[in-house]
Structure 1
């Protein structure tokens, strides 16, 4: 029996239904691909056809208090290679080596890598970029990147610090404020062919990011220049190992200048060791010597244990304490407490400290900020050394009175003296005034912060009168300025000889710390000279530098002898 075939009309209908079903499947598939999965597939295609290379975004600019640029980004060329596009790898490496200052073997190693993109040398000099482009090598390209540039060179280098190759702050302000200064990542895109190889040079594009925020310092470029210049003169003339100089506003804690010697150029740090760029003003501890007598005096005056006219016997220059002898630089008999400070008598200061006792001496030194960080907004600060009384030896109290067995930083000393200058208030020092966005809007503002009242205004005023006599007729006469009242204190501290473990007779730190005008202080200046080989006394090596800094900074700030006299008459 023959099979029965469906009629023609039925076959046609079935065919039509099948075609329609097929079209429906295709339409549904197209809808799914082009609408529902469009975003995902586009991203997948981009990953297959584009390679992204991450670059750091432009860092924010650092300004001084008057808007002068101290650190800025500049666009410089970086060289990269696309190994798949190279026809003559060895020849390209040979021609590139003298331009990039990279060994040919190193370039060949990089270009032989099984990668679609390799960095050859980053952040080159502009002249290198021009020579590189002139070579016009297939498979070798140039892209512009931001490199940190410090237009003032070594000026303020220890405060500014520097940024690394990848735009990350590594030292100083660059490190402490990196979260503000660091710009958003920048992405460079390279197009790939169907086999996944980078197509060169077509398809290169850059996506512009947001730049970093800008930082405005309390530092004044002019004050900084003066401090560095005069510190350099002091170090050079005395053949010293180094030194530091700090200029502060005693009423606010704002740091106007912070000089460290030897200096370094933050544009060139590859060949330097960390010891060279360490900010010694906050990271190095030294025994202060006789400058510590100011704070022993402040404590005794505050506790009303003594007055400027109280008489003390100088033991003719020799006094035995705990089976050791304390010496004065000259034989002295009876003297007033004011003369103890004026002549910097070790024996007189030790006797006052003994009246205070261990606990009160320790407490006042802590109140002045010794033995703790100032919390300045710079990285690397140390707390110094102030042992608890339970760790003291039989001579420690007397030793501390003359600045031994205690370790301080330059900034601690400047901050503590500011508390005397401003009427007894310990201020928190700071070096950044504000952070701004690209449009100049203030995002963060840092202002004066009081830490605590250390002594009364009356005590500060009485001590200030005593410190004026140090400069007018005592050990600090070389710090005196004509027509300006100056208050301050000299210090000469023996250093420990690393070979013997005992105090050295030749290795010393000479210092002078003071403020002016004494009747209404505008600035505090602290100068320390490390291991001078000539005239090692603080009054001889540091006081002249103090004077030279003050002679230039005060007029710049608008303070002249006439204005200081008028101000004193108005106050009186």
Structure 2
């Protein structure tokens, strides 16, 4: 009988295979360990650290916003955020803790109960409360021997003048970033750099409130001074709000500037909102229609048409024309508001005084011409963004010369067949007030204590032209369509505008106008320019925008200490 032998060819083969497999596996494991320990060590360490920690942002204090007179319009105030570790709150103390929190912070007891009973190690109880309120909570919880509630230093935005200027200032979100208005436009300047607090976390990755935390301090933002005068702003807001009601308008807008610098002293459009309570904001309330919406400017545009004609040596204020009752503009016939049926001999001054559509169209079509007109309105900046430091500016819809049709020149000459944000008219008429010098409408005056320079945007017309147009604007206020715009004792230069509004079909809506008035005072040495516009009103400018203009202009002149030129109205 043969004895059994261990091994053999099959055994040897299997053993060798097993040895190779083990060796390869060992090499793979060793390689993986080398890779993890050498190449991935840093990343793995970071991942492990991230699993053990959680970061809470500490908001920086945003820079303070001041008006031109040093009044604080928006500032960041120290406050406290209250949070808890529900697992540390004793079961028998939860209801009492909720009651104390509700009584001290003004919240709802049931809301605090639901937070305090959450299955987590970190939960916010109340964010951004007054420090005095937080101190009271801390004292009352301590008296009740309740633990598990903690406090984090925080900041919030406050507005000493309440809702006044809300539209211009804008909204700051809960994350500390500006969302609208100047808070958005200058967010990078105002925001600063947030800090952070790093908490140890539990097995679920949630921060363990009350454990040792590492804190990186926040760096505060930069203060800015803006051109608003809060007293003029208040009058502008109140006046246009009441005006929209009194004259059955869809909305209204106001802008007040210093025409020699372009600084905006007041600006608003309806509807407005209250930045101290942003729970309900109407559509469009956060934007300035003067900047973000385009309208047909109407007869205030006649100022630019006549300025172009004078500046090119084609007309003077005393040039006269036989103006028929109606003038053909493309396929339409254009007449005046007085519905006269006869021809009149009018000077350019009289055309502006009466605000004659027929006279303006005649001068534009027969004397100025399309090339000169197109070049002239381009010099005024019509159809281009003004560069105003406010979000949402649009350029408007203005035909370039190559796209003019038979009606373009005549219609555009008196403010139809083009749509622009009315800040463009403010910039253009600012230049007439300032001897033809174009300035950029703007809010920012200083940042971090340093004055911000706004360079001239060029020249629209000569000083001689600007003076002649100004003198005709005086006549409009003294004897023409803008008599209701007079301010007792002051020399006011102005022009009314009543622009028809086009409907969705493209045709004009009956008895729906953009009624406006733009003007400045004193005419010889302007310190204030005011634009007032009512959108979608059935009232002509002479009986609606003009008296609103007078109210706002009077308040601005008085507030700025501008001396009257006489003891009676001009």
Deviation sequence 1:180-235 (CA, Å, 0-9, x none): 11122122354569999865535467554221110100111122222223223322
Specify the SS of the correspondent of 1:530. Answer: strand
Q: 476, 479, 484: which one pairs with 1:473? A: 479
Specify the SS of the correspondent of 2:382. Answer: coil
Matched, 1:393 2:405: yes
Q: Distance in 2 between matches of 1:210 and 1:43?
A: 26
TM-score normalized by the length of structure 2 = 0.82
Q: Contact between 2:199 and 2:207, CA under 8 Å: does it hold in 1?
A: yes
Specify the SS of the correspondent of 2:259. Answer: coil
Which residue number in structure 1 is paired with residue 554 of structure 2? Answer: 551
Matched, 1:72 2:75: yes
Structure 2 runs not aligned, ≥5 long = 1-44
Which residue number in structure 2 is paired with residue 60 of structure 1? Answer: 63
Matched, 1:242 2:248: no
Which residue number in structure 1 is paired with residue 306 of structure 2? Answer: 297
Which residue number in structure 2 is paired with residue 166 of structure 1? Answer: 175
Taking the TM superposition and a 5 Å limit, the aligned residue runs for 1:372-391 are 372-391=384-403
Specify the SS of the correspondent of 1:183. Answer: coil
CA RMSD of aligned residues (A): 3.3
Specify the SS of the correspondent of 1:465. Answer: helix
Specify the SS of the correspondent of 1:419. Answer: helix
Which residue number in structure 1 is paired with residue 432 of structure 2? Answer: 420
Q: Distance in 1 between matches of 2:232 and 2:241?
A: 14
Which residue number in structure 2 is paired with residue 319 of structure 1? Answer: 327
How many angstroms does 1:466 deviate by? 1.0
Which residue number in structure 1 is paired with residue 463 of structure 2? Answer: 457
How many angstroms does 1:419 deviate by? 0.7
Deviation sequence 1:111-131 (CA, Å, 0-9, x none): 335xx4343543346787567
Q: 478, 484, 488: which one pairs with 2:490? A: 484
- Residues 160 and 430 of structure 1: CA distance in aligned 2, closer, same or farther (over 3 Å): same
Q: 193, 209, 231: which one pairs with 1:184? A: 193
How many angstroms does 1:507 deviate by? 1.7
Which residue number in structure 1 is paired with residue 119 of structure 2? Answer: 112
Q: Distance in 1 between matches of 2:162 and 2:204?
A: 49
Which residue number in structure 2 is paired with residue 410 of structure 1? Answer: 422
Q: Distance in 2 between matches of 1:48 and 1:389?
A: 65
How many angstroms does 1:61 deviate by? 0.5
Matched, 1:502 2:507: yes
Which residue number in structure 2 is paired with residue 33 of structure 1? Answer: none
Specify the SS of the correspondent of 1:58. Answer: coil
Q: Distance in 1 between matches of 2:344 and 2:206?
A: 92
Greater Cα shift, 263-272 or 279-288: 263-272
Q: Distance in 2 between matches of 1:258 and 1:542?
A: 16
Which residue number in structure 2 is paired with residue 349 of structure 1? Answer: 360
Which residue number in structure 2 is paired with residue 25 of structure 1? Answer: none
Specify the SS of the correspondent of 2:239. Answer: helix
Structure 1 runs not aligned, ≥5 long = 1-41
Which residue number in structure 2 is paired with residue 3 of structure 1? Answer: none
Matched, 1:430 2:442: yes
Matched, 1:226 2:235: yes
How many angstroms does 1:396 deviate by? 1.5
Greater Cα shift, 50-59 or 337-346: 50-59
Which residue number in structure 2 is paired with residue 532 of structure 1? Answer: 537
Deviation sequence 1:356-385 (CA, Å, 0-9, x none): 222221221111111111101111111112
Q: Distance in 1 between matches of 2:470 and 2:484?
A: 18
Q: Contact between 1:492 and 1:511, CA under 8 Å: does it hold in 2?
A: yes
How many angstroms does 1:151 deviate by? 1.8
Q: Distance in 2 between matches of 1:195 and 1:264?
A: 43
Matched, 1:512 2:523: no
Q: 142, 145, 156: which one pairs with 2:151? A: 142
Q: 210, 224, 232: which one pairs with 2:219? A: 210
Q: Contact between 2:181 and 2:286, CA under 8 Å: does it hold in 1?
A: no
Deviation sequence 1:143-193 (CA, Å, 0-9, x none): 231111122122111111111001001111111111111122122354569
Matched, 1:122 2:123: no
Greater Cα shift, 214-223 or 291-300: 214-223
Q: Contact between 1:93 and 1:104, CA under 8 Å: does it hold in 2?
A: no
Which residue number in structure 1 is paired with residue 528 of structure 2? Answer: 523
Specify the SS of the correspondent of 2:386. Answer: coil
Q: Distance in 2 between matches of 1:346 and 1:89?
A: 82
How many angstroms does 1:429 deviate by? 1.5
- Residues 182 and 92 of structure 1: CA distance in aligned 2, closer, same or farther (over 3 Å): farther
Q: Contact between 1:496 and 1:503, CA under 8 Å: does it hold in 2?
A: yes
Which residue number in structure 2 is paired with residue 310 of structure 1? Answer: 319
